[in-house]
Amino acid sequence: MRAILLARVSSREQQEGMSIPAQERRLREYAERKGLVVDPTSLRYYGIVD
């Protein structure tokens, strides 16, 4: 099964507490445990807008 990754933050505080790179690492670990195939170009970043 294939999957995409979505990492996002909605506030500066959240960005510091659970950074995008930390989320990506956890998402990839989860996908590996579940046997999911993640396209390396599928990661999407969404963050706060100044």
Give this prediction's pTM.
0.71
pLDDT at 35: 97
- SS3 for 3-47 is ECCEEECCCHHHHHHCCHHHHHHHHHHHHHHHCCEECCCCCEEEC
Give the start-to-end residue ranges of the domains of the chain: 2-46
Q: What is the pLDDT along the chain (50 residues), one digit of tens a residue?
A: 899 888 887 777 666 667 888 888 999 999 999 999 998 887 666 665 44
